[in-house]
Structure 1
Amino acid sequence: MKSGIFIRFASSSGRSLLSAEWSRLGIESWVVCHEQTFPGAACLLLQLAEHQASAWMPGFDTLGLADTLKLDVSHQEDDLLREIWLTLMNCPVLLEFPSAEELMAAVRIRRNIVVNASRTCLNFHTSAIERPVDCWRHSEETGFVLIPGSPLIDSLKKACQPEVGEQVYAFSCNRATEYVILLAIAEEARTSHPELLSQLQAQWEKKAISFEQFQDVFLNELGALEQPLPMHYYVPGDRVWFRNPDSHSSDVRGFEGSWVFYLGGGMFVNFWKRDQPFNLLSKCIEIHHWSHATFRDAQGELQLDENKVDQLVAETLASPENTARIFERMHRFRDGRGIYAEGGCMDATRETPKYVLAPHSDLIRALQAL
């Protein structure tokens, strides 16, 4: 199967745009660009040079790329962009884009997701109804919508990115990822597709999009349980689900699994403690210990003691033997829906935003079809 990036319609200006960005980042010599001619169009297949791909990402394992290349993705934006480009061009399945400009926009959106996810700090709660009251209002019929005149971008940041000492609002991890994706797309649309930003603004003044509908409208899914992506293949900006493989604790609302973003540099976002992102090991250990921290509240509802989870995680990580044993159990592809057998917490898929630029924006068409 072909891998890498396929640009279906690549104009000379589009190719020059890509080359200029790769040259600026110092990665142009590592890009292999194959021209493919079809009736009426010249197309491009972009791949990472074979030597670099095998040396830097053996088996499509991207978790150590930043360490290998000494990239400071947390503090240097260009280093983050380098990791995005290099991992995308080494994708194990073919990624298709209708233009070079759309590919550039996709890279910028991934950068926006990582930057905004890193700044997000929330209070985990699956049922509390909280948002800044000066720009958001709530009803059962609409969910949280914007007060007319409240800019979408500013209102999302106010809800998710508190300064030190400011109120931290209640979110589930799923809703948190939706807000970060929406914000990242809106920031891109502000300069590259203002009509899309206007549509997003109008939609969120009328009715919020969430859960399965959000996935359908905004996201594409790569991979499947039957044809999983390589377990350690991540691109900064990927939305990733870690499943709770324990049938008992997964009955606690909000603990069926954990939605996160891959930040690059081997790290995954922690919405609740933004200065303590997870690596793959600590995320697996955390989810494992959900099974040891359940209790019944005064109403008889199953709950989970997160302080106890933190304590158990610390105890496990202090024991190399226990850490290795638990990681081996969790570090497996998850079971299918409704199955709790020998599967672990690792997902087979990644989720990425749809096209945003005119005239190819499947995102704006999905919004218009609502």
Structure 2
Amino acid sequence: MLSAAPSSTHHAAGLRVQPRPGQALAGLQTRLFDWLQAHGVEPRAVQCHADASGGVRLRLTPEMLAAWTPGFDTLALATTLQRDGDTPDAALAREIVVAMLAAPQTMPFDSVDELEARVSVRGHIVRAAARTALAFRTDDAAERPTEYWHYDEDHGFLLHEGQPLIDALRAATQPEATGRRYDFSCYRATEYVILLGIAQELATRNPALLEAITQASRRRAIRSGAFHEVFLTEFGSMAQPVPPRYYVPGARVWFRNPHEGSADVEGYEGSWVIYLGGGRFSNFWKREQPYGFEQKCVEIHHWRHGVQTGADGALRMNEDIVERRTAATLAHPKRRAAVLARMQRLRDPQGVYAAGGCIDATREFPRPLCPGTSTIALPVLA
């Protein structure tokens, strides 16, 4: 369970890491400091102390929190941490680590191995999301590469016998693998991207679990609510919302459409994206143009202006209108400020369209992955 948010915005809750059975806290602390330095984080930037749970807590000092993530705003963290000579993967890993050290609510880990795995899997998810390019479609009967997948009316897209899950997920989401883009809704797209990241980490960290997921994928698609329950952890809640500008790379994020009329257009109830780091959010339809935070908020605001009724009476979204209005608002300082003041509020509860904005109270990321500590429990399939 997540602990309560810290009482002051001057203090991070950070990470809590439990020792392995028989491991002394001093040895755990030494390993954690080595881990920090391997990611280019100096121990003096971090508070480290024994936790009441019997583990070790790591968090940014109040001074570094204010300097690097003021008000728990992580959107500029990549620029703040930038170093000459960094590889993209090293820079991303450091951003993930520091953003987690700045967590406003405790992020618990059952071991250093689990901590390392869930930093690594976030990197896999970011890279997969950045490479994903799709066509937009909201129904489940969209196509997948037939070399790897076949459609079952009751169970969704199923993996062919003998085909590896990682290759199949890449083929469905990355055009370089097949030479074409496949149809997805944004929600289903995030599932494939996250599962690809999880599978890549399990290939070296927990091959037995990867094999179990592969076999399950041959029999039934784990999707929608079941996907969330099986593979993801939710960070924050409506009672204890995550600060609106706090994001860790690799998290799945929902931007809600707060306008009731345009939310009736299928596929425009909100927007599911992956936070890529560096203030960028995935754009699966134009991957070379990832969204900025403010751009995403303004775009969703203008969905209300793009609604049209087709000849069949069905509501549709005119994306050209939305794109033009979004560009005009972003270029007009007063109009931009007014739209953002509304849209950057915390969203209303489900079913309510009142004074809330588009910002969700929670973030989602993979469950524990390591042998002995993983909490991924696959459904029992008949």
Compute the TM-score of the two structures, normalised by the length of structure 2. 0.91
Alpha-carbon distance, 1:74 to partner = 11
Determine helix, strand or coil for the equivalent of 1:121. Answer: coil
CA distance, structure 2, for counterparts of residue 258 and residue 72 of structure 1: 35
Q: 1:308 aligns with which of 301, 304, 321?
A: 321
Who is 1:34 aligned against? 49
> In 2, are the aligned partners of 1:72 and 1:80 still within 8 Å (CA)?
no
Structure 2 unaligned blocks of 5 or more: 7-12
- Is 2:69 aligned against 1:54? no
Who is 2:16 aligned against? 6
Who is 1:346 aligned against? 359
**1:269–1:71: structure 2 CA closer, same or farther, 3 Å change rule?**
farther
Q: 2:238 aligns with which of 197, 208, 225?
A: 225
Determine helix, strand or coil for the equivalent of 1:362. Answer: coil
CA deviation vs aligned residue, 1:60-115 (integer Å, no higher than 9, x gap): 11112122233699961111111110110111111111111001000001111111
**1:315–1:37: structure 2 CA closer, same or farther, 3 Å change rule?**
closer
Q: 1:87 aligns with which of 76, 93, 99?
A: 99
Determine helix, strand or coil for the equivalent of 2:378. Answer: helix
* CA root-mean-square deviation: 2.0
Who is 1:181 aligned against? 194
Who is 2:168 aligned against? 155
> In 2, are the aligned partners of 1:159 and 1:169 still within 8 Å (CA)?
yes
In the TM superposition, 1:1-370 aligns within 5 A as 1=4, 3-10=13-20, 11=23, 15-29=29-43, 30-36=45-51, 43-70=55-82, 76-127=88-139, 128-163=141-176, 166-363=179-376, 366-367=377-378, 369=380
Moved more, 45-54 or 156-165: 156-165
CA distance, structure 2, for counterparts of residue 206 and residue 242 of structure 1: 32
Report the residue type matching 1:9 in the other structure.
P
Determine helix, strand or coil for the equivalent of 2:147. Answer: coil
Alpha-carbon distance, 1:14 to partner = 5.4
Structure 1 unaligned blocks of 5 or more: none
CA distance, structure 1, for counterparts of residue 83 and residue 144 of structure 2: 36
CA distance, structure 2, for counterparts of residue 120 and residue 97 of structure 1: 29
CA distance, structure 1, for counterparts of residue 237 and residue 85 of structure 2: 28
**1:289–1:16: structure 2 CA closer, same or farther, 3 Å change rule?**
same
CA distance, structure 1, for counterparts of residue 85 and residue 197 of structure 2: 17
Report the residue type matching 2:355 in the other structure.
E
**1:223–1:324: structure 2 CA closer, same or farther, 3 Å change rule?**
same
**1:37–1:245: structure 2 CA closer, same or farther, 3 Å change rule?**
closer
CA deviation vs aligned residue, 1:289-347 (integer Å, no higher than 9, x gap): 11111112222111111122112212222222221121112111111111111111011
Report the residue type matching 2:49 in the other structure.
H
CA distance, structure 1, for counterparts of residue 16 and residue 173 of structure 2: 35
Alpha-carbon distance, 1:197 to partner = 0.5
Determine helix, strand or coil for the equivalent of 1:290. Answer: helix
Who is 2:10 aligned against? none
CA distance, structure 2, for counterparts of residue 157 and residue 306 of structure 1: 27
Report the residue type matching 2:294 in the other structure.
L
Number of equivalenced pairs: 365
> In 2, are the aligned partners of 1:242 and 1:345 still within 8 Å (CA)?
yes
> In 2, are the aligned partners of 1:219 and 1:352 still within 8 Å (CA)?
yes
> In 1, are the aligned partners of 2:16 and 2:51 still within 8 Å (CA)?
no
CA distance, structure 1, for counterparts of residue 151 and residue 201 of structure 2: 27
**1:320–1:122: structure 2 CA closer, same or farther, 3 Å change rule?**
same
The percentage of aligned residue pairs carrying the same residue is: 45
> In 2, are the aligned partners of 1:238 and 1:261 still within 8 Å (CA)?
yes
Structure 1 residue runs of 4+, over 6 Å off?
Answer: 72-75
CA deviation vs aligned residue, 1:260-297 (integer Å, no higher than 9, x gap): 11111111111111111111110011101111111122
Alpha-carbon distance, 1:165 to partner = 9.0
Determine helix, strand or coil for the equivalent of 2:285. Answer: coil
Determine helix, strand or coil for the equivalent of 1:237. Answer: coil
CA distance, structure 1, for counterparts of residue 93 and residue 82 of structure 2: 13
Compute the TM-score of the two structures, normalised by the length of structure 1. 0.94
**1:200–1:165: structure 2 CA closer, same or farther, 3 Å change rule?**
closer
